[in-house]
Amino acid sequence: MNSNLTEKISDIHKTNNFSGSIYVQQEKEVLANVSYGFANRSEQIKNQSDTRYSIASGSKIFTAIAICQLVQAGKLSLQSCVKDCLNINIPHLASTITVHHLLTHTSGIADYFDEEMMSNYEEVWTKSPMYKVRDLEDFLPLFKEKPMKHSVGSKFHYNNAGYILLGLIIEQASKQTFSSYVEEHIFKRASMDAGYFEMDLLPGRVALGYIEDLNNTWKTNIYSIPAKGGSDGGAYVTAKDMIQLWESLTRYELLNEEMTRYLLTPQIQIDDMTCYGYGVWIKVNKEKVLKYILMGYDPGVNFRAVFYPNNDLKIVVCSNKSEGAFEIISRIENELTKKMK
């Protein structure tokens, strides 16, 4: 391990009181593997390297990989119309929406958590009991009667509901529940210690998510997110799991080489340097990929991971607080990329 980097991370932790785990690896060398704070504050159980954290929307890449596996197996096509892939009546769903549109957030459908309209994910659950949301169908009443927000393919609009539909397509094509499919065909194959767990049935080595309340008190996020995550987010992973995901993906153990490259190809240009592939953000410079980014934010959940393919550098930051991961990963990146230049 790199003692200078570990000291630098320790200094950053002191300034932002980070709670979670950090894993940094370049090629085969582990540069940092450190944890801070508590997985359970009441019992004073510390976060450790094998602690599993919810990663919210960081899980979208699992959904994208699963779809691409089914495409590779010939069970559907990226250009398949969504209406042909689902036996669910969604009244306002445009007939021209394809699987590709859902993967790239360009379908134009209304979201159940629209970040342009709401600032806090907790707002969704003031009218819809989160404890009843355990299967993908449980998300449908939140958005299926809403009219289209944009015309199909007209613009990028980050969309959780679109990824719920992708999960339902996975279930229909594979004849498995979404979570069991991902656990069998992705987590197991990549040797990940991950899963989609229910909030009131958590196994061991799982960090509770904490939200800072008034007067510097803390509450768990059990009433702030669905009882079980879905295909738009909510898997639990260790920090090392996400290193293993990238390694398995780039060794073509989850998809063949052609499909892996397509998954990681910029599909939609968002701004001068930011694109979106399938379930992954991509930073580019003159059409050359600089890094891949996974991120997730929920009340009591903060996750960032980056992969620099040209330097085989992977950094993962999992936090069981609502903030902190971005500051940590940005400063680690600044430290390491200075040396790469």
For 298-339, the DSSP string reads ETTEEEEEEEETTTTEEEEEEESBSS-HHHHHHHHHHHHHHH
- Token pair of 220 as six digits: 């768990």
Identify the helix (H) or strand (E) that includes residue 36. Answer: strand 29-36
What predicted TM-score, i.e. pTM, was given to this entire model? 0.94
Residue 123 three-state SS: helix
Q: Specify the pLDDT at position 185.
A: 98
No. of H helices and E strands in the chain?
A: 9, 14
Q: Specify the pLDDT at position 120.
A: 63
Q: What is the CATH number of the domain that holds 292?
A: 3.40.710.10
Q: Quote the CA–CA distance of 312 and 251 in Å, as a whole number.
A: 13
Evaluate the CA torsion angle 176, 177, 180, 181 in order and state its sign: positive
Q: Quote the CA–CA distance of 218 and 213 in Å, as a whole number.
A: 5
SS3 content of the chain, % helix, strand, coil (to 5): 35, 20, 45
Q: Specify the pLDDT at position 100.
A: 98
Please state the domain count of the chain.
1
For 258, counting Cβ atoms within 10 Å of its Cβ (0-12 exposed, 13-18 middle, 19+ buried), the class is exposed
**β-bridge pairing 45-46 and 218-220:** unpaired
| Cα-based distances in Å from 250 to 220, 247, 260, 263, 265 | 36, 5, 7, 11, 13
Closest CA to 126 of 137, 113, 116: 113
- Token pair of 246 as six digits: 């990238």
Domain enclosing residue 283, as ranges: 3-340
Q: Quote the CA–CA distance of 204 and 39 in Å, as a whole number.
A: 11
Q: Specify the pLDDT at position 131.
A: 76
Q: Quote the CA–CA distance of 6 and 11 in Å, as a whole number.
A: 9
Q: Which residues pair with 212 in a beta bridge?
A: 218
CA 74 distance to own-chain centroid:
26
Residue 128 three-state SS: coil
CB contact burial 315-336 (16+ within 10 A = b; e otherwise):
bbbbbbbbebbebbbebbbebb
pLDDT < 50 positions in the chain: none
Q: Quote the CA–CA distance of 208 and 43 in Å, as a whole number.
A: 11
